[in-house]
Structure 1
Amino acid sequence: MHTLLSWLGNKDIENMLDDKSAAILTLASKSEVPFDKIVILSNKDETKWSQFEHFLKKKMAILGRPNHSIEVCRAHIESPIDYQSIAQETERWIAKLSDEAESLSINLTSGTPAMTTLSVLIGKGKSNTYFLQATPKNELITVEIPLDFGQAYVKSAAKSIAATATALPVKHGAFSEITNNSQAMKAVVTKAKRIAMSEVPALILGETGTGKEVMAHAVHRASLRANKPIRIVNCGALAATIVDSTLFGHKKGAFTGADKDHPGLFEQADGGTLFLDEVGELPLDIQVKLLRALQQGEINRLGDIKPIYVDVRVIAATHQDLSKLVAKGEFREDLFYRLAVGIIQMPSLRERQQDIPDIINQFITQINLSASKHPDYQSKIISQKGIKFILNQAWLGNIRELWSTLNRAFLWSEGKIITDKDIAEALIIRHETEKDCAVSMSFNDKVDIVQLTDDMQKKYILAALTASGNVKKQATKMLGLKDHQTLTNWMKRLGIEPVK
């Protein structure tokens, strides 16, 4: 037996009243193999059900096709867009009809998107189920759906986990969600709030991964421009040939390929904020145009002499020492002082130890939430020894490095509890190389070279002991010493007391 299952669509009813074809009649009349049974589901227009049955039976009889088993059946659904009740009805009918029939064809044209979606999802699980559609010109199309939905779902969930791990951790709100239990971060947030409410340009300084972009967003959201756009650009990622056009726009014909006028980021951010990350990477000629935009509020599109007036607040950021770039002639001094009105110095992670436990908990929540959609994933936590181990690390990549390390640890660990060993295995190994620092001395200069070397050795030993949790065996490996007895001897010589 060959069966057709369909929802009763509005178009099917409308066309019936005009004695015209719509999806159900098209499929029933043009199917290569005639249907022995046609089941039509509906939850409305009950007064027209018998009329539609009579209409369809008459058309099938004229064509010499089976017409005795055509029925409109009540579908017990909450609404045409209620996925839960539609899923229950669809599952019930597809299971019943596919068991009874040699083949079950499902109409994907009639009904709501929810009905079509669930028909595909549930129907794909049956080996004798096929999908049909009708075109607006009443042509029949056999639909091939190549997806394995189970595999596609797992793949999508896995991609989501990967995307979350490689992206930066999510932050919402203004300053309320910036962790600031430490005195260092409290002071920064207090200053940033004052800067946010002013209209002065801001310069955010700090090591890589300290959260400069997060701070820029917070300043924008806490400012009077919060309801206006913020545009973001990494100046270090822009090719020299497109910097001008990206920031200030271009006129049609300004260069090959400029087939229309293009507003730059300054125009796009008009009334709002423009965040220039790694501003120290801007070429000197672009720095001149940026200075003019800051001083006079006007820009020129590339290839245009007519000025455009913009109202944009600039927030710049860099991990470089701009004063050194100024001294080397690589950054304009006048631009530096123009930007450095509201200075926000982001502390490194090692300078805000009190914030780390809360940051860890926030990251754990995000990682577990992202991975929870994967069917095989089990939620995980970090042990107290694991948290203590994290607190002992230097985190030269700061928040970004911590985020990546936790993602690796959660990915690699098979247990529900992430241990200090899991974190240690997830750390990226750095090899401290000898730095090429030129040393010069004048004729009468004097240094205590023994004291210099002793001080450096002491700093490295203390750092290794801290990072290893005072485990001498591990600290010995980190320092490249022969054995832990050698380390003990060095500690005695340098006056380093062992932790008991």
Structure 2
Amino acid sequence: MHTLLTWLGTKDLDNMLNDTNAAISTIAAKSEQPFDKIVILSNKDEDKWSHFERFLKKRMAIANRPDQDIQVHKAHIDSPIDYQSIAKVTDKWISKLSDEADTLSINLTSGTPAMTTLSVLIGKGKSNTHFLQATPSNELILVKIPLDFAQAYVQSASKSIAFKATSEPNFHRAFNNLTNHSSAMKITVSKAQKISASEVPALILGETGTGKELMANAIHLGSLRSSKPIRIINCGALAENIVDSTLFGHKKGAFTGAEKDHPGLFEQADGGTLFLDEVGELPLSVQVKLLRALQQGEITRLGDTKSIFVDVRIIAATHQDLSLLVSQGKFREDLFYRLAVGIIEMPALRNRIEDIPSIVTQLVDQINQSSSKHPSYKSKQISDKGINFICTQSWPGNIRELWSTLNRAFLWSDTTLINDEDIFKSLIKRQKKNISDDLSMTINDIVDIVQITDDIQKKYVKAALKASGYVKKKATIMLGLKDHQTLTNWMKRLNIETDS
């Protein structure tokens, strides 16, 4: 993602009234790489902000450039020359946007000298930041700052590595780049391609960390809506009192702090796709409005009485059992059937072993790429033994857990070749829960308790052998047995055969 950060200058507003370009519109229209997002900061002339947003969006549309994510934000500064308050605002926005974007460009033409100076000082500490300015004749200039901020650069690179390690792995978002060597994933991708070509709502099911958001992006990119925006919201990450406003927008004065009209994600995604992650977390009151949007294609902003018609495709995802939530009265049955038209079940990583080597390669490339920004970093790889060990593990957290484990292994190891022992030391140790003793039986029930016990023991012994790479000594420790001879005796009794 390419983002532009700029202050709103007096010249920008004056030229807007004459419908002519100034620095912001010039840079946005002439940048070699189009901006996916434009963030404008201002502390005055708030009554002109919405007019300027419309003006700039119009200019971007004429230039055939992205115009969906352009917004003026209020900058809480004491004055246009107060370095302390300007530095606080500038640092907040540059840090946020440089973490989110692949490239952040900063306009040095608009704003006061204090704003420009602090943009340079803070922006030079970020490894992915560039500077632009416009001449009086509206020519674009790429600015090279001839200063060495090496220490700030190293600190930023270290922070970037940490940020990437704790964020989601960023796979290529298209069907032909989804790893699908396994039969389970091939079936899943085939279904998703068919759903993508239609206009039906989609519901993506699967355990945490299986790549539901990746699949949603692939469905969007494979659809006729691919040229339109996709908006993403994690329904479980927002407080109940702001979910409504986030999805459907609000009118000025709808609640304390609503200083102007705000379009929600439905309006922002008009013509495109809205991905509702963890849809099972939506409050019932919001579910009613979501159902109306699906059935009638219209929404109502919070605090408004007028309906707005939108053309949005819904893709929802959850790791929960929605049918169970329906039976518990926590999820509307009519909404469930509206969403559950194109159903995709993402297979767990343990059920797609053939995909693991390719997935590991992709994750390793991402770790090396993000870490390479640090001057002292040396590129690392996974040995064949390491990959084989990864394939034997169950990965209850799926790709997300694998991603975190690889990051830890790369961090702890001083060698350039990560082996099975490095991966083993980087695994999170879990305490297995005891089987629940909350059982009940009726007088006529008959069970074979010996067979049940043998079946459970057999499953655990097989799982321990697989996870340990069929090393009996390790499997013995995992099962809490006295010694490996005891394990051998169990294997004979349970009729478990192994080549090792």
TM-score (norm 1): 0.70
**What CA distance in whole angstroms lies between the structure 2 residues aligned with 1:463 and 1:486?**
17
2:260 aligned counterpart, secondary structure: coil
Which amino acid counterpart does residue 308 of structure 1 have in structure 2?
A: I
Q: Is the alpha carbon distance of 1:435 and 1:255 closer, same or farther for their aligned partners in structure 2, counting shifts above 3 Å?
A: farther
Deviation at 1:214, TM superposition (A): 0.2
Deviations 1:283-327 (A, max 9, x none): 111111111100000111111121111111000000011111111
1:226 matched to 2:226: yes
Residue in structure 2 matched with residue 46 of structure 1 by the alignment: none
Amino acid in structure 2 at the alignment position of 1:438: D
Q: Distance in 1 between matches of 2:261 and 2:486?
A: 70
| Counterparts of residues 219-258 of structure 1 (less than 5 Å) | 219-258=219-258
- Find the residue that maps to 2:285 and give its secondary structure: helix
Which residue pairs with 2:145 in the alignment? 117
Give the C-alpha shift of residue 457 in structure 1. Answer: 0.9
- Cα distance change on mapping 1:493 and 1:198 into 2, 3 Å: same
- 4+ runs of 1 displaced by more than 6 Å? 111-116
Shift in Å at residue 485 of structure 1? 2.3
Alignment of 1:360 onto 2:388? no
Q: Match of 1:190?
A: 190
Say whether 1:489 aligns with 2:489.
Answer: yes
Deviations 1:158-189 (A, max 9, x none): 12211211111112242111111111111111
- Residue 387 of structure 2 corresponds to 387
Matched with 1:323 is: 323
Unaligned runs of 5+ in 2: 1-134
Give the share of equivalent positions with the same residue, in percent: 70
Report how far residue 435 of structure 1 moved. 4.2
Separation in 1 of the partners of 2:168 and 2:304?
Answer: 38
**1:457-472 maps to which residues of 2 (within 5 A)?**
457-472=457-472
The one-letter code of the counterpart of 1:416 is T
With over 3 angstroms needed to count, the CA separation of the structure-2 counterparts of 1:306 and 1:454, relative to structure 1, is same
Asked which structure has the greater CA Rg, the reply is 1
- Partner SS, residue 302 of structure 1: coil
- The count of residues paired between Structure 1 and Structure 2 equals 362
Q: Give 3-state SS (helix, strand or coil) of 1:496's partner.
A: coil
2: CA distance, partners of 1:471 / 1:429: 18
Give the letter aligned to residue 145 of structure 2.
T
Aligned partner of 1:473: which letter?
K
CA distance in 1, matches of 2:334, 2:368: 48
Is the CA contact (8 Å cut-off) linking 2:171 and 2:362 kept in structure 1?
no
Q: Which residue in the other structure is 1:204 paired with?
A: 204
Residue-by-residue CA offset, 1:39-83 (whole Å, 9 max, x unaligned): xxxxxxxxxxxxxxxxxxxxxxxxxxxxxxxxxxxxxxxxxxxxx
Structure-2 separation of matches of 1:298 and 1:202: 19
CA distance in structure 1 between the aligned counterparts of 2:250 and 2:144, rounded to whole angstroms: 46
Q: Which residue number corresponds to residue 33 of structure 1?
A: none
Distance 2:143 2:209 in 1: 47
Q: Which amino acid aligns with 2:295?
A: Q
1:476 corresponding residue in structure 2: 476
Corresponding residue number in structure 2 for 1:172? 172
Partners of 2:412 and 2:303 lie apart in 1 by: 54
User: Alpha-carbon deviations, 1:237-295, whole Å to 9, x = none?
Assistant: 11111111111111122222222211111111111100000000111111111111000
Q: How does 1:364-443 map to 2 (within 5 A)?
A: 364-436=364-436, 438-443=438-443
Note the residue ranges of structure 1 that are not aligned, 5 or more in a row: 1-110, 122-148
Q: Cα deviations across residues 189-238 of structure 1 (Å, max 9, x unaligned)?
A: 11111111111000000000000000000001111111111110000111
2:173–2:214 Cα contact (<8 Å) kept:
no
1:3-48 residue CA offsets vs partner (Å, 9 max, x unmatched): xxxxxxxxxxxxxxxxxxxxxxxxxxxxxxxxxxxxxxxxxxxxxx
**Residues of 2 paired with 1:243 and 1:187: CA distance?**
35
Given residue 289 of structure 1, which amino acid in structure 2 is its aligned partner? Answer: K
Point out the more displaced range, 204-213 or 252-261. 252-261
Partner of 2:300: 300
Relative distance call for 1:434 and 1:248 in structure 2 (3 A) is: same
Q: Tell me how large the CA RMSD over aligned residues is.
A: 1.7
Cα distance, 1:116–1:295 mapped onto 2, change above 3 Å? closer
Give the TM-score of the pair, scaled to structure 2: 0.70
Distance 1:292 1:115, change over 3 A: closer
